[in-house]
Amino acid sequence: MANTLNVGLVQMRCSEDPAQNLQRAAAGIREAVRQGARIVCLPELFRTPYFCKHEDPQHFQLAEPIPGPTTEYLAALAAEQNVSILASVFEKRTDGLYHNTLVVLDPEQGYLGKYRKMHIPHDPLFEEKYYFAPGDLGFRVFDTAGVRIGTLICWDQWFPEAARLTALQGAQILFYPTAIGWLPEEETTERAAQHEAWELVQRAHAVTNGCYVVAVNRTGFEPAPPGASSQGIHFWGQSFVAAPDGTVLARAPVDEEAVLVVELDLAFIERFRTTWPFLRDRRTDAYAALTRRFLDPDG
C-alpha cells in the first residue's frame, strides 16, 4: 500500500441546469486529477440547487435510479481519468421511495456501490424528511485507490456514532459531501459559532477515530421560494480536510468555487492510533445503553 494519497475536493455553485452542473463537476474532477488526485469528492446533491428548501412534489422529478444517467456518466469519467469519484445523487428507488445517496465509482471496477444517508434533517429551509427516506444499508466502507474509505453525508457529520461505526470497519478516510450554510437573517456572531461547531465536530471525529476527514460543501447564495420562512441559504463553502490529530490540512474559501488537492500521509494513521489508542481502550462491555433513545428514569 502506498504511504501517501492525494484526495480532491470540488467545491462548487449549483445552477438550475442539471446538465450544466454535471459539466462543472466534471471540469472540477479533471482539474483535481491534473493536480494528482486519486479520489475526488463532489458536494451533496451537486446536480441541482438545494431543492429541500421547501416542499414541492415537482422536485421528485429530479430523482433518478442508481445505477442511472449520473452514475453512468461519472463511471465513464472515472475510467477515462483513472480516478475514483464520490457523488451524491437524488435516488429514486421506486415510486414514492427516494433516498439521498452517495455512490462510489472506481476507475477499473466502475460502480462499486452506494451509501444511503442515515440521518435526515428537518429544519427551516432544510426540509429533507419530505423527500428522503432514512438509509437502510447501514454505515458502509469501500476499497478504492488502494485505501478503505467511509461514506457519509452532511447531517451524518454531527453524529459521533456514525463516524465510529464507519471507522470500526477499517475506514482510513471519512468523506462527507455536504450542503450547509447560513440564513441571511442570522447575526454575524451566530454564523461564526455555527461554522466553528460544524468544523470542530468533524475534526473531533478525525481525532477520536484516528482517521482523515474530508468535508466537501457547496458555495454561493440560493434563494428560497416566495413565502418561505427565510430569504434563502448562503452556503458557507470552506470545504476542508482534517488529519487524524485534528489539524486542518486545507480549507477552501467561503464564497468561491475551488478545487483542493491534499496529500494524505496514510502511515500517520497507524502512528497516531498507536500514540492515542482510543480503539484499544474502548469499553465495549459498557456501551449497550447507546441503543436507547434517552436514559430517563421511566425507560
What is the band of 226 on the pLDDT scale with cuts at 50, 70, 90?
Answer: confident
HSE toward the beta carbon, residue 134, CA cutoff 13 A:
9
Condensed to tens digits (0 to 9), the pLDDT of residues 245-289 reads 999 999 999 999 999 999 999 999 999 999 999 999 999 999 999
What does the mean pLDDT of the chain come to? 96
| Beta-carbon contacts of residue 22 (< 8 Å; ≥ 6 apart) | 47, 70, 73
Whether the per-residue pLDDT at 1 is higher than 60: the answer is no
Identify the bridge partners of residue 207 per DSSP, sorted by sequence position: none
Whether the per-residue pLDDT at 53 is higher than 80: the answer is yes
Mean local confidence (pLDDT), 68-80: 98
Q: How far is CA 21 from the centre of its chain?
A: 17
Mean local confidence (pLDDT), 7-23: 97
Catalytic residue numbers, as ranges: 44, 117, 154
Whether the per-residue pLDDT at 134 is higher than 60: the answer is yes
Condensed to tens digits (0 to 9), the pLDDT of residues 202-223 reads 999 999 999 999 999 999 999 9
What is the band of 225 on the pLDDT scale with cuts at 50, 70, 90?
Answer: confident
Q: What is the distance between the alpha carbons of residues 272 and 284, in angstroms, rounded to a whole number?
A: 21
Given CA atoms 89, 94, 96, 99 in this order, what sign does their dihedral have?
Answer: negative
Distances (CA, A) of 246 to 73, 106, 155, 196, 272: 35, 28, 20, 13, 11
pLDDT at residue 298 in the model: 77
Condensed to tens digits (0 to 9), the pLDDT of residues 89-111 reads 999 999 999 999 999 999 999 99
Whether the per-residue pLDDT at 299 is higher than 70: the answer is no
Domains in the chain, ordered, with CATH?
4-291 (3.60.110.10)
Whether the per-residue pLDDT at 147 is higher than 90: the answer is yes
CB 59 within 8 A of CB 51: yes
